């Protein structure tokens, strides 16, 4: 039996925010309260001054396994996740080969079951990410896919995406969409605006996201599909998602820590380390994103953890791959840039990092209640640290050297300590 003493237990699902003891046995939450039992605990964690919350859930990571494991693999990726307080993550399908067939999926799911945290896998939507032929949705679902996404490659054909949404709706599974119309992008990874002009780099305008979101919320409304608008970056897209929800569409939105924290200015200092799809945009967009986080339009924080090698990122802007890592800084970015600034409470931030993503995927996690799986994060909201070392194989983060608040001390998955600072 494990006793977690004196922590501030914050559980968004039940609106619990209370300093108490938490007891864990056989991988499950046994009970709350200082006098819960006379029995001796085998291990005691002193969580005085710390927040005890459900293990974090990230619906959007890239573990590059199989085929691109020089960037990350499922073992290093799960270590990075555990160090960031995550106990459940959802891997995207843009691996090599792509996860668009039962063989690749089954092998991966089997290996993912051996990991210390829960690593789930989406299936591609289209064969070879070509946006032309649907994967076998039934077979992929039957072999362990938790949802569908061609993340990385936008699906540009409206008729095709409608068919894909119908399939996802029939199975009541989420379909996650990377919303950028490539025909409107001059260059990926940098917002089209003052900074791209200054650098003479073309750029990807917010319009490229907006037109896709506008199209897909209407198709979502028509089909009833559970649609996750991935890594929302444009202020107008936030308004569109709000509108979709008001119409009753089953539309959800996720935002990355970088999109709520920084703007296109950061490219000037960090170059390719701040290149990602969609790009970080203007202060106006960032403020609209925060508005969307506050009023519930944006349901989830997701990292889009996208490891790349130092050599790849050292190339010139146009050639370097897009993406940054995020698992080990996500919680602290939320604490520092949303809670400490007074935008969200811990309860609200944690809701978007635990129960909301868990519910979208119908995962049995994200809740601290008697009998629930003992997936927990214990962090010190006041402790600051400077971002420097990573458990990830990659270090492509523009936040290296930044001081953040909110240090993870323990991550517990199925009652076992999987990370200890
Ligand atoms: O910047 C990005 N990188 N955006 C994506 O959607 C994909 C990701 C990657 O796989 O590197």
Is 364 marked active-site? no
Q: Which residues line ligand 1 (CB under 6 A)?
A: 62, 94, 151-152, 178, 276-277, 304, 306, 321-323
- In total, the chain counts a number of residues equal to 421
Mutate to test the pocket of ligand 1, among 323, 324, 325, 327 (most ligand atoms within 8 A of CB): 323
Look at residue 159 in the predicted model and tell me its pLDDT: 98
The per-residue pLDDT string of the chain (421 residues; one tens digit each, 9 = 90 and over) reads 999 999 999 999 999 999 999 999 999 999 999 888 888 899 999 999 999 999 999 999 999 999 999 999 999 999 999 999 999 999 999 999 999 999 999 999 999 999 999 999 999 999 999 999 999 999 999 999 999 999 999 999 999 999 999 999 999 999 999 999 999 999 999 999 999 999 999 999 999 999 999 999 999 999 999 999 999 999 999 999 999 999 999 999 999 999 999 999 999 999 999 999 999 999 999 999 999 999 999 999 999 999 999 999 999 999 999 999 999 999 999 999 999 999 999 999 999 999 999 999 999 999 999 999 999 999 999 999 999 999 999 999 999 999 999 999 999 999 999 999 9
Look at residue 162 in the predicted model and tell me its pLDDT: 98
Q: Which ligand 1 atom is at minimum distance from the Cα of 92?
A: 10
* Whether the Cβ atoms of residue 122 and residue 150 lie closer than 8 Å to each other: no
What pTM value is reported for the model?
Answer: 0.98
Question: Which residue CA neighbors atom 4 of ligand 1 most closely?
Answer: 277
CA of 10 to the centre of ligand 1 (A): 32
By DSSP bridging, strand 86-91 and strand 227-229 are: unpaired
Number of Cβ within 10 Å of residue 184's Cβ equals: 16
* Whether the Cβ atoms of residue 25 and residue 3 lie closer than 8 Å to each other: no
Strands (E), 135-213: 148-149, 175-177
Estimate the crossing angle of helix 283-294 against helix 235-247, to 10 degrees.
30
List CB contacts of 53: < 8 A, sequence separation 6 or more: 9, 10, 11, 85, 346, 350, 354, 368, 376, 377, 378, 379
Mutate to test the pocket of ligand 1, among 274, 275, 277 (most ligand atoms within 8 A of CB): 277
For residue 74 the two structure tokens come to 């499922």
Q: How many CA atoms lie within 13 A of 248 on its CB side?
A: 3
Bridge partner list, 405: 384
Hey, what long-range contacts does 134-139 have (CB within 8 A, 24 or more apart)?
A: 134/160, 134/163, 134/164, 134/167, 135/100, 135/101, 136/102, 137/167, 137/168, 137/170, 137/171, 137/173, 138/171, 139/102
Q: Which ligand 1 atom is at minimum distance from the Cα of 307?
A: 11
**Which residue among the candidates 216, 228, 299, 304 is catalytic per the annotation?**
304
């Amino acid at each position: 039996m494990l006793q977690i003493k004196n922590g501030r237990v914050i559980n968004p699902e039940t609106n619990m925010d209370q300093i108490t003891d938490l007891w864990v046995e056989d991988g499950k939450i046994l009970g709350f309260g200082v006098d819960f039992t006379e029995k001796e605990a085998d291990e005691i964690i002193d969580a005085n001054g710390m927040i005890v919350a459900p293990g974090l859930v990230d619906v959007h990571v890239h573990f590059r396994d199989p085929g691109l494991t020089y960037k990350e693999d499922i073992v290093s990726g799960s270590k990075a996740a555990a160090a960031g307080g995550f106990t459940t993550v959802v891997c995207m399908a843009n691996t090599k080969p792509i996860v668009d067939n039962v063989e690749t999926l089954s092998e991966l799911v089997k290996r993912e079951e051996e990991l210390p945290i829960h690593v789930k896998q989406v299936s591609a939507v289209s064969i070879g990410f070509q946006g032309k032929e649907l994967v076998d949705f039934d077979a992929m679902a039957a072999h362990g896919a938790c949802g569908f996404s061609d993340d990385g490659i936008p699906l540009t054909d409206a008729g095709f995406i409608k068919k894909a949404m119908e399939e996802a709706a029939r199975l009541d599974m989420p379909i996650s969409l990377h919303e950028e119309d490539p025909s409107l992008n001059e260059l990926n990874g940098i917002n089209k605006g003052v900074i791209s002009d200054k650098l003479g780099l073309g750029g990807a305008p917010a319009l490229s996201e907006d037109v896709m979101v506008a199209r897909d919320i209407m198709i979502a409304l028509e089909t009833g599909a559970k649609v996750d608008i991935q890594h929302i970056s444009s202020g107008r897209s936030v308004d569109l998602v709000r509108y979709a929800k008001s119409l009753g569409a089953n539309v959800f939105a996720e935002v990355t820590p970088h999109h709520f924290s920084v703007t296109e200015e950061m490219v000037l200092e960090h170059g390719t380390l701040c290149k990602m799809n969609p790009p970080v945009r203007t202060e106006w967009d960032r403020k609209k994103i925060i508005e969307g986080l506050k009023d519930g339009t944006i349901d989830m924080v997701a990292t889009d953890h996208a490891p790349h090698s130092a050599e790849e990122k050292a190339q010139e802007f146009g050639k370097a791959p897009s993406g940054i890592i995020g698992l080990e800084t996500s919680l602290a970015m939320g604490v520092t840039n949303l809670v400490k600034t007074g935008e969200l409470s811990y309860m609200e931030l944690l809701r978007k990092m635990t129960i909301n993503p868990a519910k979208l995927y119908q995962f049995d996690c994200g809740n601290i209640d008697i009998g629930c799986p003992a997936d927990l994060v214990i962090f010190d909201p006041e402790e600051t640290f400077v971002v420097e070392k990573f458990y990830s194989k990659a270090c492509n983060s523009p936040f290296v050297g930044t001081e953040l608040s909110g240090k993870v001390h323990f991550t517990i998955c199925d009652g076992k300590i999987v990370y200890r600072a």
